Amino acid sequence: MNLLIAKLFHKHDFVKVCVIGQDKRKKLFYAVPIEDTVNADENHSYTINREAVIYEKGIPTYYYNTHSTEPLNLYVGAETEYTPAELSVGLKTNIVKKFFEALDFQAKTSIQIIFAIITLLAIGGVTYWFYTIFQTLLAKIDELQRLLDLLTGGIN
């Protein structure tokens, strides 16, 4: 209720204080600054630095950690080798490269599987063909044996 009243009637007077604790949880406080200090609660007071303000939905917001009374200046940070846009392009390029490598691997794998199946079918077909020829030859040999037996009159 206090937040609603503050937002409706004192929007330009109060600030939002976000305190990040050692356990990496944040606590939010809404308070009216007195000179250059803000009382987040009865036991904690913080200083205000106008250079470290961040506006969230039009409300001035300050971030603090529990060990410092000065706000964290989120605008000042270590310069990185890449800008966020360059990093995004690099990540997307890497993802696309990995996708095509995986696709290429899958294509090679699927071609190898198809080749193996065709080879197995060919071996099976040749084996069946030899089996039928062998059966036919055995039948012919039996027939020739009977003819020889008839011609020789069963003399062995």
Pairing of strands 45-47, 37-39: antiparallel
Q: How far is CA 14 from CA 3, 37, 60, 66, in A?
A: 10, 12, 8, 21
pLDDT in tens, the chain (156 residues): 566 666 667 667 788 888 888 888 888 888 888 888 887 777 778 888 888 888 888 788 888 888 888 887 777 766 666 677 776 777 777 777 776 677 666 667 777 888 889 999 999 999 999 999 999 999 999 999 998 888 887 665
Is 19 a domain residue?
yes
For residues 134 and 23, give the distance between their C-alpha atoms in angstroms, rounded to a whole number: 82
Is 93 a domain residue?
no
For residue 134, what pLDDT is reported?
95
Is 139 a domain residue?
no
For residues 38 and 28, give the distance between their C-alpha atoms in angstroms, rounded to a whole number: 13
What's the domain count of the chain?
Answer: 1
Is 60 a domain residue?
yes
Give the contacts of 90 (CB within 8 A, at least 6 positions apart): 82
For residue 39, what pLDDT is reported?
79
Is 114 a domain residue?
no
Tokens 């020789």 belong to residue:
152
For residue 19, what pLDDT is reported?
87
Is 92 a domain residue?
no
Is 120 a domain residue?
no
Enclosing domain of residue 7: 2-65
